[in-house]
Amino acid sequence: MNPQPWRLRLTWIDTVTGDRRSPIFDLPIALGRVFEAMPPTINSERVSRIPLKSSQVSRFHAVIASETDSSIVVTDTGSRNGTFVNGIKKNRCVLANGDMLQIGPYAIGISFTVNSTETPSVNSHIFFNPQTNGPDSAIKQPATSPPSPTVNTGEFPPIAFLHASEVTMRSIQSMGMPVEEIDWAAVGGGLGSFIWVDLLRICGVKADRIAVLGMENQPYARYRRLCLNSQIPLYERLRSNSDSCPDNIWGWPPYAVREAWQELLKGRLDVSLKLMWQVFAEPTFAETYTPRAENVFDSIDREVSRIGWNQMFRYGRVRGIRKTDDGRYAIAYSRSNAEHREHVFLIAKYVHLATGYPAIQFLPDLQAYRETTQDFKSVVNAYENHDEVYKQLEARGGSVLLRGRGIVASRVVQRLYEARQKNRDIQVLHLMRSPKPVGNKFNFAERSVENHYEFQPFNWPKACWGGELRVVLENASPEFIPQLLTDWGGTTTANRSDWRRMVKEGLSQGWYRITFGEVERVERDSRNRTVTYIREKKLKGQIQLEADFIIDATGLDAKVKTSPLLNDLVIQYNLAVNGLGRLSVKQDFEVPAMRNSSVSNGDGRMYAAGAITLGGHYAPVDSFLGLQYACLRSVESLAKAKVKSVRKLTVVRSLIQWLKWIFNKSPG
């Protein structure tokens, strides 16, 4: 009789995307960086080999196997950085249910319970409400899904449109809906579209040849809403560089200079000089300068008028995009509202996709809590509007359990600190999956950590935007990209002296505590408080954490599958998806399989930018400067291909356009 092989469930978080992986493996399990470096069999048993991409993980790092006495043991197989069990470096250690294994930057939870009755471990989502453009937990499926091609409900777009990879102009005209023709279409209507259109205008494209499709005509509407929800009031500073100016492709004058000038005009010379010193001495001799949110939004408003954005913007929800038979693209969009239905086709030669995050990540155990209790007040996601939580805490006091440790968690801690100034009776428990005693390492450098907060001025190392690291990633082979992104990415927060002071104060005064553990489930007790059950490692028991509120500060999700529009495109045209589940694009951000060549009309092209492209050859895609880089690359390749009406951004054109920016004159 053959004994059943032992099986383990390993849980870890992909540090780049925040995705939770929770697969089950048969023992023995080998962990390492390179698949081929791990043995396929040990003692004639087949090995489950798990590749973990990071330069801190050795090629063959460790093995988990069952011993003759039925215990499960992890053995370090000569790794450079060591294997840690529950924070202690071990060469060999017996594993218990709930132990946390640390290999490089990966914190892997061990579970012996492999029944499928456990709560689903993949991330659940909060989608955006198409009417309000804000996160809405009542929405189960995004409303903009193209209807399934097998069900003919007379919906829009028509089945003939959805089924075809290429639609003829004749069939579109015959569908009976308004058809508009334009040269350039930008889908999204947010900051990505804004930066793209801004650059097109600077490079000579006329405003009447561009159409932008989006939900709100202010390009920063959703971004601003998410900022306010995640506790960044307008006077607070964004995590962005002084010369990352979405309204100004040159980065001059940078926000620090503009702010210093404003301060000078107000007669505050000392503040003005301090700002100038900051950008000179940052980050080593002074704290990194970051612009105020309201200044950034105001500057975007000015540029919005300058380039004629409002005449280009059209309200609409894009339902589907298909290639046409004459080298263009047909975009089916809906302008319907409560009063009337209206569906339109927009035909464009060049399409730009910058649809951003389709959804917010929500921890599955919290999602399960909400579904069982229908309680949407006690358990919230930091990106939802949750001002009520702070109001209640300020009025009545209480306790908060905070999950996640990135920049949003820091903002929430700051807000809670401010709430405490009104009501001292507020306790904060910060639940992290695992300790982070040291930061990531790459070559000779290491990130700094304090109190398990890992610091980095921006969401990627600075050289990822335009320095050496950008070149490294650009030249990396596709197999090597995930490793680089893991090494450089991860959950970090800004090294702000005020935040660090708040954390230290909280820890020493006792109202802020940090605890570690893997959550099993969240329930409501008889007093209507939330109870979080976490696996405790040393005592092999269970710990219960009670709190009045739980705030999930874990992040946003931009996988292609989550966006119905992108998912439809990927399926219809067999588009390549990269290692992080997002659109694979060329170095100039073109979506290769969407090129629509026609003999008579030249090539139609589709470009993508922003969060939907993360995972390829450019890391900081989801940032102001990163969006500008993507758009610069795309425009450069269009100009090189001698696309009509796009001029190359030469020295002369750049200077003239910059002067027009200075004098607030239309680009042309």
**Which residues lie near another protein (CB under 8 A)?**
243, 249-252, 279-285, 442-448, 456-457, 461-463, 465-471, 629, 632, 636, 649, 651, 654-655, 658
Q: Which is nearer to another protein, 444 or 663 (CB)?
A: 444
Minimum Å distance from CB 101 to another protein? Answer: 26
Is 494 within 8 Å of 457 (Cβ atoms)?
yes
Q: Which is nearer to another protein, 4 or 443 (CB)?
A: 443
Q: Which is nearer to another protein, 45 or 468 (CB)?
A: 468
DSSP letters spanning 129-170 = PTTT-SEETT-SS-TTPPPPTT---S-SS-HHHHH-SEE-HH
Q: Which is nearer to another protein, 228 or 438 (CB)?
A: 438
In this structure, the dihedral spanned by the alpha carbons of residues 170, 566, 356 and 411, taken in order and rounded to 10 degrees, is 160
Beta bridge partners of 652: none
- How many Å separate Cα 292 from the centre of its chain? 21
Minimum Å distance from CB 652 to another protein? Answer: 9
CA distance 241 to 354: 22
Minimum Å distance from CB 504 to another protein? Answer: 22
**CB neighbours of residue 128 within 10 Å:** 25
Minimum Å distance from CB 91 to another protein? Answer: 30
Minimum Å distance from CB 445 to another protein? Answer: 4
Q: Which is nearer to another protein, 112 or 250 (CB)?
A: 250
| Structure tokens given for 109 | 């939870």
Is 85 within 8 Å of 74 (Cβ atoms)?
yes
Minimum Å distance from CB 548 to another protein? Answer: 38
Q: Which is nearer to another protein, 6 or 442 (CB)?
A: 442
CA distance 641 to 588: 12
Q: Which residue is it, tokens 């609409």?
A: 316
Minimum Å distance from CB 449 to another protein? Answer: 12
**CB neighbours of residue 62 within 10 Å:** 29
Q: Which residue is it, tokens 């639609």?
A: 167
Is 217 within 8 Å of 309 (Cβ atoms)?
yes
Minimum Å distance from CB 468 to another protein? Answer: 5
Is 47 within 8 Å of 6 (Cβ atoms)?
no
Q: Which is nearer to another protein, 534 or 627 (CB)?
A: 627
CA distance 79 to 102: 12
Is 186 within 8 Å of 288 (Cβ atoms)?
no
Q: Which is nearer to another protein, 250 or 315 (CB)?
A: 250
Q: Where are the beta strands (DSSP E) in 243-362?
A: 313-315, 317-324, 329-334, 343-353, 359-362
Pairing of the two strands 179-188 and 210-214: parallel
Q: Which H helix or E strand runs over 660? A: helix 651-662
**CB neighbours of residue 518 within 10 Å:** 20
Q: Which is nearer to another protein, 235 or 444 (CB)?
A: 444
Minimum Å distance from CB 303 to another protein? Answer: 15
* 146 Rama sector, left if φ>0, alpha if ψ -120 to 50, beta otherwise: beta
CA distance 348 to 21: 40
Q: Which is nearer to another protein, 482 or 620 (CB)?
A: 620
Minimum Å distance from CB 651 to another protein? Answer: 5
Minimum Å distance from CB 128 to another protein? Answer: 31
Beta bridge partners of 88: 85
Q: Which is nearer to another protein, 144 or 459 (CB)?
A: 459
